[in-house]
Amino acid sequence: MDTITWIVDVTTDLSTNCPQLTEAARMLQNNEVVSFPTETVYGLGANAKNTDAVTKIYQAKGRPSDNPLIVHIADVEQLKEFADMSSAQVAILIERFWPGPLTLVLPCKPGVLSTRVTAGLDTVAVRMPDHPVALELIKRAAIPVAAPSANLSGKPSPTRAEHVAHDLNGRIAGIVDGGPTGVGIESTVISCTGDVPVILRPGGVTKEQLENVIGQVIIDKGIENENEAPLSPGMKYTHYAPEAPLAIVKGNRENIQRLIEQYQKDGRKVGILTTEEYADTYKADVVWACGRRDRLETVAAGLYNSLRSLDEKKLDFIFAEPFPEVGVGRAVMNRLLKAAGHRIIEV
């Protein structure tokens, strides 16, 4: 299959023109799979009402069929058709955080969406992305769009159209290139089916931001304790992993430098993932600065591109500095720990 790329200039007014988006929307209506940018990462979209279309997503990604998809909408009216949004908390969350990087898990009304979207669960995950391309595309397609991140299953999520092409060229109908995404890590997934909302995946909206608006929020124990089964199906899989083994290395920088040299002595090509503040203090085969430690949102924005770029250097080992688990740092560390397969070295 030839994959079409549509380049869209996000600085122009997309609501009036942009034939590329009309073409991409038509592909979605024809039950083809199209990748598009959101404010978090690129998504791999298909008609959520059609099982053939949704099946193509799983095939293109090589995604396990028990891992349900997030449904993307452009208008809250669309949601009423397939989800129960009667809870007062849900109304507040929608009002405060949509469009934005927050995915709500709600009771699903049967008979509207393909059951492959929800992997047979009686709940559905849904969000309204805060990106002009995503919103305009969904609006023109006029269907709910199921979309996981547009990477091959297990690989770091794509934050640029080139990442999508690298993983999925020839496997999907098209890619809408709207430039790099902003937030850089996926949405926060929160279950709103019980009395107290539960964070199933940390992401772009922080626990602190949620608690400011709705009070107590629990974090699923399965996220932070690798011996506990997570509540969200997707969180049990190894994710975001680069080819080279990755370890998080805790300790002072002199000791980390010594560790790098030890590994290099054995003939290994070693990379270190650090931030702009400390990049000059290391000597390694590759020293990669990902954002600034004093502004963790810049680390989130650059994390997946850093992992993919380090991968291209064909290293034998990658070390990564840890980040404080506050605010968006919680999501950054969650992804980094998964990428490292929970390997931590203390020096």
**Residues of this chain that bind Mg ion (CB under 5 A):** 149
Query: Minimum Å distance from CB 339 to ligand TXA?
Result: 14
Q: Between 284 and 300, whose beta carbon lies closer to ligand TXA?
A: 300
Residue 187: CB minimum distance to ligand TXA, A? 3
Question: E strand or H helix at 208, and its extent?
Answer: helix 207-214
Which residues fall within 8 angstroms of residue 66, CB to CB, at 6 or more apart? 119, 233
| Contact of residue 20 among ligand TXA, Mg ion, none (CB under 5-8 Å per partner type) | none
Nearer to ligand TXA, 240 or 317 (CB): 240
Beta carbon nearer to ligand TXA, 259 or 303: 303
By a kind-dependent CB cut-off of 5 to 8 A, residue 147 interacts, out of ligand TXA, Mg ion, none, with ligand TXA
For the CB of residue 49, give the shortest distance to Mg ion in the complex, in Å: 22
Q: Which is nearer to ligand TXA, 187 or 306 (CB)?
A: 187
CB of 244 to ligand TXA, least distance (A): 23
Per-residue b or e along 20-57, where b marks 16 or more CB atoms closer than 10 Å to that residue's CB: bbeebbebbeebbbbbbbbbbbbbbbbbbbbeebbbbb
For residue 206, the one-letter residue type is T
Among residues 124 and 318, whose Cβ is nearest to ligand TXA? 124
Contacts with ligand TXA, residue ranges (CB under 6 A):
38, 40-41, 43, 67-70, 101, 103, 105, 118, 121, 123-125, 129, 147-149, 186-187, 189, 200-201, 232-235
Q: Which is nearer to ligand TXA, 85 or 121 (CB)?
A: 121
Q: How far is the CB of 319 from ligand TXA (least distance, A)?
A: 26
Tell me the Ramachandran region of residue 175: left when phi exceeds 0, alpha when psi lies from -120 to 50, beta otherwise: beta
In the list ligand TXA, Mg ion, none, the entry touching 56 (Cβ below 5 to 8 angstroms by class) is none
Q: At what angle do helices 207-214 and 88-97 cross, to 10 degrees?
A: 130
**Measured distance CA(46)–CA(44) in Å, rounded:** 7
Coil/strand/helix, residue 281: helix
How many C-beta atoms lie closer than 10 Å to residue 87's C-beta? Answer: 16
| Nearest residue to 334 (alpha-carbon basis) of 191, 193, 218, 220 | 220
